[in-house]
Structure 1
Amino acid sequence: MIVTYDLSRFGIPDGQIIVGAEQQYWTWKPGGPDRLGINIIAYYQTFLDRKLELKMGYLRNQNEFAGTVVGGSAGASVLGPSSNILYQAGMSNNAAPTPALNVKYNFDDRVYNKASIQRSLSPDGQYAQITENPTGLNWSTANAGILLLDETGYKNKAAPGLPETWLRAGAGFNNSSYTNFHYPKQPRANANSVYYVAADRQLWQSDVQGSAYRGIYGGFSVMYAPPYLNRVNQYYEARLYAKGLFDSRPSDQIAIVATNTVWSNFAVDAALAKGNLVHRDSTAISGTYTAHLAPGIYASVGLAYINNPTSITHTRQTGHALNLLVSTSIFF
């Protein structure tokens, strides 16, 4: 549950107070841990005729950087698991918000630069972060330092005869204390990083004069993190999606996404030396249909096939997975 309070009624244009809370319960315990806590506590404000945007508080930078959520509507969802490589670099997310200050400067209505100084997630991973700080209110967790993020991008909205385009590239630098997979018995390292480029482009407009956003889109993401500090070393994603493809369903979305996740060679070799069954990457393909059922109500159903669905180690019974995904979002 997330609530946004508009301060324009008090003469503060674009001022917003955002407060959210969430509860998670897992029947499959490795997916957890369970939590009840904040989702976001933030203040948003613009300056200089909206050239400068400020957002601060306990934030979810997963939704602020890299464009892991594409589609442009309230019903859009994360297309692929690209966030995993960002989480291990310390980026906050829905289940683990952290204190942060985000500043975005819009050079014009298309080119922007966005920077953040954020308290990092636990360098031992998302599970350790939530276990130590389930409410999300703690200022920090063990071995967590500061994550600096910066993204530069070009983004134009769809218009008659002008396809929508979004290009972005970014980097993150983290001084948290990470275990070095190459030398696990040595002291922790304090210089992690992540890099990414992504692009999305409208390939065809189905209703040029009426609703220019409707049509077919394509996109890709490429991400990299040093293998000696990160289990996920590389990530590749290709996506094809459509908005309002059918005249009778102008607000629905369809997405087909293919991904490849490459594991750290140091972490894989360490697991192999212990006699485990290992794999060096994981591939997946998924299809999702998101329906706009009523004002503010969206429902999604999808199917995902994953080759090597576990992390680095696996058993002979966990080589493949077929997942059915169902979700509902309500806005009022």
Structure 2
Amino acid sequence: MRSCTTVAMSVWSRSTAALVSSFRQRSTKRGLAIALFLAAILMPGSALAQSHDVLKKTGIPNELTGGWIHQEAAPRAARFNNSATTSSTMELAKRVRANEVARIRTQKKVTPFTKFETLREKGMWLIIPGPADTIDLDRGGVRSALADVGIGYVGGTVNSLINNQLPNAGRTRVANQLYMGQNPTFGTVNFLIVTYDLSRFGVPDGQIIVGAEQQYWSWEAGGPDRLGINIIAYYQTLFGGKLELKMGYLRNQNEFAGTLVGGSAAATVLGPSSNILYQAGMSNNAAPTPALNLKYNLDDRLYNRVSIQRSLSPDGQYAQITENPTGLNWSTTNARILWLNETGYKNKAAPGVPETWLRGGIGYNTSNFKSLAYPNHQLTNGNSVYYVAADRQLWQSDVDGLASRGIYGGFSVMYAPPDLNNVSQYYELRLYAKGLFDSRPSDQIAIVATNAVWSNFAVDAALVKGHLAHHNTTAISGTYTAHLAPGVYASLGLTYINKPTSVTHTRETDHALNLLVSTSIFF
């Protein structure tokens, strides 16, 4: 009995060993087949043919067809089928290689600058061209070296010349100039902003932002001239990005309302943009003030933003800069607190999804203002401002490519009490296009119509004094901004303005046809 058992076990062992050996050979051959197939995808057609010869000589199972590749003794039909399969495989390999090359080229174009994205200033709606759209790019590896230690930067220079083209422009001495372009008006704004990444220390999206700005205007009232801070701020997110915190010396012009057509700092749009927000005390690039901003994101589109900001001087932007040109002073005369709140809905353009931005806001200022209704009375506090605005992409010209290209429309409506503000109402209609032409995918065209309504108290006071006065100023402008090279933009615009001066005018200053020539360079 024992000998029978021994014989049976011996037979079973030899059978098992043979089966295992066969399985190993088949597994080895399958693995080799798969390896050769993957190699064929990545190698030229000649290499694919060579690998096919290897398959034939070794008699390895063909994993593509489910059969075996035999030697030359195989029937002609089988060889034909294998040849067709190989041809199909070669075509597939070519397509895969083509797609891979395209993917690699795309990655080479995008990836080198992706690492700089987290170093761009956070928390604002304004779009300043990124490192990939600057004149210095990453030449010499300087930007990369700074990024490696958490430092990012962006700088720029914007230079504009505005000149009235009408023959009866009412030229005068610069000291008596009443509006931009009455005499040829030149202005330059130069800035540098540096960021430091705090997320490297575990602070969610953490960032420190420091910036400086210098501006000069040939017409002093257009500026005035200054050299000082642009921003000193701390930013971070809380609760998984639901809450955004930004505080320091801020310019809320870039945080609220969205007053720049197209949202890009590179596109200079000619026309009398509303100063209704500035007269209500909102800080801006030329006049940053201490502020604490909080933005609550209800989801990835709905948000509510609030700010507690030190107001600009209630006597206006010119008085603010004259008294505090560096911007470092904690406050200016009679300036107190401005409360701001904005609720909005914003989504970015995506294939088949047009870009949309709806927003509405309110501001309440506790500063002491001069009353236009009772000019001989004491200063009055409790100024306010209200606004609603909308921008919508009407047509996408490159749905499968750059979805933001296309035609947009928008409007803005703003109101401030006429007893405390020179500009009481402001209306704007805008139609603009981004990348309308395939050959110029980064250019912008804008047509903007505006109407600024002056305080009836200010108009009545001017009429009582015997001045010529007007109740509103209307304008229509057209501007083309061309992207000439990385970091280089040029704008050419023309604006017709009816009553270009503030409240009062002369017969020589009834109308203006202002030509704008502007360049913007970023590094």
Which interval holds the TM-score relative to the shorter structure? over 0.9
Q: In structure 1, how many angstroms separate the alpha carbons of the residues matched to 2:386 and 2:409? A: 21
State the shift of 1:197 in Å.
Answer: 0.4
Q: Structure 1: give runs of 5+ residues left out of the alignment.
A: none
SS of equivalent to 2:368? coil
Aligned AA (1:3): I
Farther off after superposition, 228-237 or 298-307:
298-307
State the shift of 1:312 in Å.
Answer: 0.6
Contact 1:262–1:282 under 8 Å retained in 2: yes
Corresponding position: 1:321 with 2:512? yes
State the shift of 1:74 in Å.
Answer: 5.0
Contact 1:70–1:79 under 8 Å retained in 2: no
Farther off after superposition, 316-325 or 124-133:
316-325
State the shift of 1:320 in Å.
Answer: 1.2
Q: In structure 2, how many angstroms separate the alpha carbons of the residues matched to 1:250 and 1:99? A: 39
Identify the residue that residue 263 of structure 1 maps to in structure 2: 454
Contact 1:195–1:223 under 8 Å retained in 2: yes
State the shift of 1:139 in Å.
Answer: 0.7
Identify the residue that residue 308 of structure 2 maps to in structure 1: 117
Contact 1:63–1:69 under 8 Å retained in 2: no
Farther off after superposition, 220-229 or 58-67:
58-67
SS of equivalent to 2:496? strand
Indicate the structure whose relative CO is greater, using CA pairs within 8 Å and at least 6 residues apart. 2
Identify the residue that residue 165 of structure 1 maps to in structure 2: 356
Identify the residue that residue 232 of structure 1 maps to in structure 2: 423
Corresponding residue pairs, total: 332
Farther off after superposition, 70-79 or 41-50:
70-79
Pick closer, same or farther for the CA change 1:43–1:296 going to 2, 3 Å. Answer: farther
Contact 1:6–1:17 under 8 Å retained in 2: yes
Identify the residue that residue 329 of structure 2 maps to in structure 1: 138
State the shift of 1:10 in Å.
Answer: 4.1
Q: In structure 1, how many angstroms separate the alpha carbons of the residues matched to 2:325 and 2:270? A: 26
Identify the residue that residue 289 of structure 2 maps to in structure 1: 98
Corresponding position: 1:4 with 2:189? no
Cα-to-partner distance string for 1:197-234 (whole Å, 9 max, x where unaligned): 00111101111111111100000000000000000000
Larger Rg: 2
What is the aligned-residue RMSD (CA, Å)? 1.6
State the shift of 1:40 in Å.
Answer: 1.4
Q: Structure 2: give runs of 5+ residues left out of the alignment.
A: 1-190
Corresponding position: 1:29 with 2:256? no
Q: In structure 2, how many angstroms separate the alpha carbons of the residues matched to 1:330 and 1:47? A: 35
Pick closer, same or farther for the CA change 1:225–1:152 going to 2, 3 Å. Answer: same
Structure 1 or 2: more strand by fraction: 1
Q: In structure 1, how many angstroms separate the alpha carbons of the residues matched to 2:342 and 2:261? A: 16
SS of equivalent to 1:271? helix
Write out aligned runs for 1:37-76 (5 A): 37-76=228-267
Aligned AA (2:194): T
State the shift of 1:102 in Å.
Answer: 0.8
State the shift of 1:16 in Å.
Answer: 2.1
Aligned AA (1:323): N
Q: Which runs of 4+ in 1 moved over 6 A?
A: none
State the shift of 1:330 in Å.
Answer: 2.9
State which of 231, 243, 254 in structure 1 corresponds to 2:434: 243
Aligned AA (1:5): T
User: TM-score normalised to the size of structure 2?
Assistant: 0.61
Contact 1:175–1:190 under 8 Å retained in 2: yes
Contact 2:204–2:238 under 8 Å retained in 1: no
